[in-house]
Amino acid sequence: MIAAKDIDHEQQLRAAWMKFRPFCEKLVGDPVLVPFQHGEPDWDGTDRDTLTKVSSWADLTVSDIDRLAALTDGFGRWIQTSDDISIVTLWRDGTPEVVQIEGRTNVAALDLIQDVIAGNVVLDEAEALKRERLRERLETLRAQFGGEIRAGHDGRPCLFGADFGGRLGQFWISPGGSEHFFSAHPEPDDDDEPDEEEPASAAPARAANDNAPLGAIDAETLLGLDFPPVEYVVPGYVTEGLTILAGRPKLGKSWMALGMCVGVASGGQTLDVDCEPGDALYLALEDNRRRLQDRLKVVLPRHQRPDVRRLQLLTEAPKVNAGLLQRLDQWRTSVAAPKLVVVDTLSMVRPPKRANQDSYAADYDAISPLQKWAGEHRLAVVVVHHVRKAEADDPLESVSGTNGLTGAADTILVLNRTTDGPKLYGRGRDIEEFEKALRLQDGRWSVLGDADDVKRSEQRKQILGVLQEATGAMTPAEIAKETGTLVGSVNYLLRAMVKAGEAEKIGYGAYKMPGR
């Protein structure tokens, strides 16, 4: 005989599950149980391995109801990111708590979940909108270069068979939003008879040459090659290859570029990191020697000035297609250790657009020769450029011009000023994506820290101020209302503040200043 108590528990579980399932589906999440300690979620011990998957109310006990949560991942479907992000949303019977448990902290992902909970966003619509925008970008490329849009190897749509400047290849847009063109290898002429070669399996592994083009190569031979490591000229920011440094006028791009040159030439620091010492060339094409002298006097310390004889400066240079590379080669072969070239700015060296040449191809042709030259000689070229006036969700989309510029570059740095102060965003083939909060003082840029961390530290100060003024304990929602911050961000910061002893948790979801 079934006890009445068991029937009550079953009804309670069924009722909770009926309310929880729509919440889970709304977040496109998997139903899971969060580990608890002493009646509260153990977020420090929560990861994908410690979550318990559930599939129906029959998997639960009454004590599990408080632990019900939705695990959401695959955020590349909705926002511009290539990171592997996992967010857990604790249900709490309609008063949810949002926590990112894996991946680099991503405010956009946390805000998206908060917007879904608030009913401002539907994830299915967000996914469809992103697919539509991706398709529109590919259609624009197809109109320019021909080809066929179809699914690539990862299932994402790509443009195959595009004719880009006489080269056939494929356009692919990465999950992070950057655009790439891959050219196909040409077929060998029938008249060309290849020399007899030893089988790849029997041939000894050969060291790669100085990034010189090798032509087609089989995968087994490629695996046996010994490539030298990537050269970091300004570690974390600038590597060998071509870097675009873009920003609004008068924001300090030239100060940053000059600081890089001084750091490399003197073996000193820029952006608070030690530079790889070597020879540097600064093409200050919008300045004259008097202004350059004034800038150097500002940047260099008055006492114990470093030796900067390895820095050479030019205020005039030919266009890319009219002798610039030859001028750069003259410098490269005349110094002992060429490391860095700065071109300030791109507009001063880019060739005029040819008749009937589309904008994408013109942008690509303006910068690709510099990118190839930098790669062949394994040094860094930084090209200073501008951003659009219009705001963009993806910093790469803010770079002035078409995606022909960003597609040809190895690294993109975008200097921007927000209400929180100056920020430098970076993304590239050989650097980790970052966004740093900066400060400009006496012509020198310094790094305050990761932009999100710096912003959170300011938000922590706001939360502390609210708790100090409060007459009693406050909930995260009340604190969020006072500070104008999202509840999810307040929850995240309060947990860190409790660990640091800056706040004290009282009972169920209320906080106060310690000792009050």
Q: How many residues does the chain have?
A: 516
Question: Residue 200 — pLDDT band, cuts 50, 70, 90?
Answer: very low
Among the residue ranges 78-82, 131-135, 179-183, 324-328, the one predicted with the least confidence is: 179-183
State mean pLDDT over 131-139: 82
Assessment of whether the complete model's pTM goes beyond 0.85: no
CATH architecture, range 232-432: 3-Layer(aba) Sandwich (3.40)
Nearest to 322 by CA among 348, 342, 303: 348
Distance (Å, rounded) from C-alpha 414 to C-alpha 367? 17
User: What is the residue-averaged pLDDT of the chain?
Assistant: 83
The DSSP code sequence of 340-353 is: EEEEE-GGGTPPPP
Q: Domain ranges in the chain?
A: 10-121, 140-183, 232-432, 454-512
Instruction: Say whether pLDDT at 187 is over 90.
Output: no
259 vs 450, higher pLDDT? 259
CATH of range 454-512; options 1.10.10.10, 3.40.50.300, 2.40.40.20, 3.50.50.60: 1.10.10.10
Higher pLDDT, 176 or 278: 278
Band (234; pLDDT cuts 50, 70, 90): very high
Residue 213 has pLDDT above 60, yes or no: no
Tokens 């530079």 locate to: 275
Which one has a higher pLDDT value, 93 or 69?
Answer: 69
Cis amide linkage into residue 315, ω under 30° from 0: no
Task: Return the top range by mean pLDDT from 201-215, 323-337, 430-444.
Answer: 323-337
pLDDT at 197 over 50: no
Q: Are strands 311-314 and 338-344 parallel, antiparallel or unpaired?
A: unpaired
The CA distance from 355 to 352, in Å, is 9
pLDDT digits (tens, 9 = 90+) for 299-344: 987 777 889 999 999 999 999 989 999 999 999 999 999 999 999 9
Is the pLDDT score of 370 beyond 90?
yes
Average pLDDT of span 63-82? 87
For range 338-367, the mean pLDDT = 91
Q: How confident is the model at residue 188 (pLDDT cuts 50, 70, 90)?
A: very low
**What is the reported pLDDT for 175?**
59
Does position 13 have pLDDT exceeding 50, yes or no? yes
pLDDT of residue 464: 87
Position 456 scores a pLDDT of 60
Would you state the pLDDT for residue 193? 42
